[in-house]
């Protein structure tokens, strides 16, 4: 067998194997794992950054695992893979909250009065079902400007 015929035989075998693999029953062509089989989503929230907090600005870093923060909403987005959704953010048990779909990795809140506070960060699916939550408690210090009635900027 010549080198040329040997190479042709190898190419034929690889072609048959690839075709058989691609037509395997029950095998999906997608590179994504169905949402039902994905590992659970996780939310990690750090304490507020000390530097900004000393100036009265609350910057809370967060990250997710097996979940992407994206502006996708509604029941039709529940099957997006890898899993995606948004954050719900609540301050001090107030009855309102806001949604963050930007995914910038930090929740930022300004203008809280000096004293103790808590922020609840929830990981929400596109239909707003909450699948994970973390609460952060902290104290906004009285700043010299705030103590003298001067608004902070």
Round to whole Å and give the CA distance between 140 and 115.
Answer: 5
Four-way CATH pick for 38-147: 2.40.30.20, 2.60.40.10, 3.40.50.1820, 2.70.98.60: 2.60.40.10
Residue 46 CB: number of other CB atoms within 10 A?
13
Mean predicted confidence (pLDDT) in 87-109? 93
Pairing mode, strands 98-100 and 115-124: unpaired
Q: Return the domain boundaries, the chain.
A: 38-147
Name the more confident of 58 and 8.
58
Distance CA 115, CA 96 (A): 20
Question: In this structure, what is the dihedral angle of CA atoms 88, 92, 95, 98, given to the nearest 10 degrees?
Answer: -30
Instruction: Classify residue 124 by burial, with Cβ atoms within 10 Å: 0-12, 13-18, 19+.
Output: buried
More confident residue, 11 or 57: 57
pLDDT at 153 over 80: no
Rounded-to-integer distance, Cα 6 and Cα 138, Å = 72
**How confident is the model over 18-39, as pLDDT tens digits?**
444 444 445 444 455 566 678 8
**Residue 93: band (very low, low, confident or very high) from pLDDT cuts 50, 70, 90:** very high
Alpha helices in the chain (DSSP H): 3-22, 50-54, 144-147
| List of E strands, 2-144 | 42-45, 58-65, 68-69, 84-91, 98-100, 106-109, 115-124, 130-140
d(CA 25, CA 117): 56
Cα dihedral sign for 72, 129, 49, 52?
positive
């Amino acid at each position: 067998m010549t080198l040329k015929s040997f190479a042709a035989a190898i190419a034929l075998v690889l072609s048959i194997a690839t075709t058989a693999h691609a037509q395997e029953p029950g095998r999906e062509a997608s590179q994504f794992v169905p949402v039902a089989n994905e590992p659970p989503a996780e939310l990690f929230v750090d304490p507020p950054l000390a530097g900004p907090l000393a100036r009265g600005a609350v910057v809370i870093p967060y990250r997710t695992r097996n979940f992407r923060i994206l502006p996708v909403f509604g029941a039709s987005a529940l099957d997006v893979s890898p899993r995606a959704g948004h954050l719900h953010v609540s301050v001090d048990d107030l009855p309102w909250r806001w949604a963050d779909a930007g995914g910038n990795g930090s929740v930022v809140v300004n203008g809280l009065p000096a004293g103790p506070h808590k922020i609840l960060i929830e990981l929400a699916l596109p239909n707003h079902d909450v699948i994970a939550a973390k609460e952060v408690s902290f104290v906004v210090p009285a700043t010299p400007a705030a103590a003298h009635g001067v608004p902070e900027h």
